[in-house]
Each structure stands twice: as C-alpha cells, then as structure tokens.
Amino acid sequence: MPSIDGKRFLASLHALGECGALEGGGVNRLALTDADKSGRDWAVNRMRELDMDVTIDAIGNIVAVYRGTEELPPVMTGSHIDTVRTGGLYDGNYGVLAGLEVIATLRDRGIRSRRPIAVAVFTNEEGARFQPDMMGSLVYVGDLPLEQALTTQDAEGRTVGEELERIGYRGHEAVGSPRVDHFVELHIEQGPVLHRRGIPVGVVEGVQGISWTEFTFEGVSNHAGTTPMELRSDAGYVAACLTTFAHDLALGYGGRQIATVGSVRLTPNLVNVIPNRAVVTVDLRNTDAQALERAEREVLAFAMQAAQTQKVTCRHRSLARFDPVAFDASVVDLVAREAERLGLNVLRMPSGAGHDAQMLARVCPTGMIFVPSIDGLSHNVREDTAPDDLIQGTQLLLQILLRLANRPS
C-alpha cells in the first residue's frame, strides 16, 4: 500500500485555513460568502493540479473525479469546506483535503484503481447561514428540490441562488451526477469520546437523528417599571422557560438525548422594555427515533402551555429534521478491518453531528471514519486534532478507497 505524504497533507490544511482566517486563529467561512468562494477557488485549483475532472452542479457542489481503468461509477469521498461563524481548521475541510491527499499519493505513483475515485465538496453543510444544513448533499441525493434550496433565504433575505451566482458557483452540471458506487467520509469526531479514551479511530455505525425547531413567541412590549408582574405578556420569559425545559428534559431522558438552545433573539432587546417578541431555536438529537419523537412532542407541548400561561402567542416551524441513520454494515466492517490492519484501535460509535454521509447513505453503501477532537472542541476556533491522528486517518481512508475501488464486481 502506498503511504500518504503527511507533511504535504498538514500543509494543505493550513493553506485552506488561510481562506476566511480569523484574527487569533480559527476560520469564518459561512456558506456562499466571499470567504467560502476563496476556499472553493483554492480547492478547485488543487483538484485541477491533480488532473481531476472537476464539475460544479446547480447547487454548487464540487465533484472532482480521478479516472479509473474502467468506466464505472466512482467510489466517492469528501465532505464540506463551509464553516460556522467561529469555526476551526478541520471540521469538513479534513475530509475534503484527505481525499485530495489520497489522489495526490496515487498520482505520484501512477496508480489507477479499477473504479474512478471522486472527491466531493458539498454546499452549505453547516446550516449556519441557510437552513437546512447538509443542503448540498440533500439536493444531491434528490431529497430536497433544487428550486426550494435555491430560493432559501439567509437572515438578510439573500437567497442561495443569488449568492451562488455572485460567487460564481452556480454550476451547470445536473445535481446527483455522477451516480456513486460507495461513499466514505473521513471527519473529526467533534466530540470528546475518542480523545478521552485515547482511541485513534472511530468506526461510525450511524448518525443521531436531528430535529431543529424555531419557536416565535409574541406578547406585548411594555415599560419594565410600571407593568405589574401578573399583567405582563413577556415573550422573553417564555423563551427562557423553554430553554431550561429543553435542557432539563435531555438530562432527564439520559442516554443519547441531547438538547441545545443556541439562538435567542429578543425584540426590542432593551434593558427596560418587556420583550414583545422572542425567537428561539431548539436542537434535539437522539440515536433512538422513538425517544427523539417523544422529546419533540414534549418540547412542543411545553412551549404551547408556557405561552398560554404567559398570554403570549406561539408559532413554530421545523428548520431541519433527520431520522437516525444506520450506515452500511459491510462498509462499517471494512473501516474496522482496515484500521486493524494499520494496528489502530477502534471504537464503534454513532455520530452526534449531522454529516453529508448520512445523505449519501440514501443512494449507496456508505460509511464514516472519525479521528479524535482534542477536548471534543468543535464549532470553536480552538478545534484541534493531533497531527498523527490526522495522518493515520488519511492513510486509513486511502486503503479503504483502494479496496472499494479495486474490488471485483
């Protein structure tokens, strides 16, 4: 088996990290911003240096194909390069650049696998600017209509379609092409489990179900000093009650139930005015589909009840909803087997985060590899992974891709 060039690979992570770099470390490359464009340009340029066939589809997904010896559907790897507002160097970028390092390694040695190997960069995986997250891969597999995705607006009312045009990534390739033979995504864990247990490889068996709901409470704004407590319709208070309820519900469920209120917007948001409007998001996740549905029902019921008690109205809309996903058993086993061949301990685990791989799993046998995140930090400028772990994971990806691409029909 050929070995990847660890030095070159680590350098590529830092080179891409220059695009949208934040003062003092970290990256802000929100989807379809100028920073995202500069990252895309960097990646496409690298793909062309590797003589890959690069196509951009109508939702801005970038697919680069390294030709095989036969005209067969490609084995695909890849991830995303958009980040949250305060992101790190590895989330998404690691999987994309590891794929390109694999291709560079094969090309250096003139190796061609039987099937082509494709590296994909999917649009707006984070969902930090446009919801839902994993938008590019969701459109790729045909489960989000292209038109609906293109007309999605950000907080300032700009649409995905306009922004794709603006940065020059509204491509002509039909979405969903090429048809994919297998998909394997390499990603940092973004959680503390592997790092705490000192295990270098996570064999990802599936992905937690995800439910994002936005609640909008509307009451009456009024003077904070002259309105008796019992005569208030305080939308901010209801939002706070929902926040604590969701948090405590997750603690109560235990197991893999998680609840996060990450975004709260009060209007007018002044110290001496009772908020007449509160927009709050609840992010619920669980590997257990039934428990996730129960949590959703309880959170909704509480929100309605609390709103009624406080004499405020309650509207809600789903921003994203994905059932738990189980990856293909044969791919999961292959990941474990190849890791053991490399002498790497593995932990079979679910993914707590959503990933493009869960979308590809709907159309082809799919698996994922995790490497440790130091202290579990992610969506954080201090996100980090040990260089050896990054390199070992990329070597493992190379071996898995070659096995899949060279297997007989």
Separation between Cα atoms, residue 224 and residue 9, nearest integer Å: 57
In the complex with a second copy, which residue's Cβ is closer, 272 or 290? Answer: 272
CA atoms within 13 A on the CB side of 49: 11
Per the rule left: phi > 0, alpha: psi between -120 and 50, beta: everything else, 190 is left
Residue 228: CB minimum distance to a second copy, A: 7
Residue 41: CB minimum distance to a second copy, A: 25
Separation between Cα atoms, residue 69 and residue 67, nearest integer Å: 7
Radius of gyration of the chain (CA): 22
In the complex with a second copy, which residue's Cβ is closer, 15 or 304? Answer: 304
Residue 119's DSSP bridge partners are 64, 77
Which pair of tokens denotes residue 9? 């690979």
Residue 317: CB minimum distance to a second copy, A: 12
CA atoms within 13 A on the CB side of 175: 23
In the complex with a second copy, which residue's Cβ is closer, 362 or 379? Answer: 379
In the complex with a second copy, which residue's Cβ is closer, 259 or 405? Answer: 259
Beta carbons of 61 and 136 less than 8 angstroms apart: yes
In the complex with a second copy, which residue's Cβ is closer, 138 or 334? Answer: 138
Residue 397: CB minimum distance to a second copy, A: 20
Per the rule left: phi > 0, alpha: psi between -120 and 50, beta: everything else, 280 is beta
Residue 370: CB minimum distance to a second copy, A: 10
Residue 324: CB minimum distance to a second copy, A: 12
In the complex with a second copy, which residue's Cβ is closer, 133 or 296? Answer: 133
Residues in the chain: 409
Which pair of tokens denotes residue 219? 């009451």
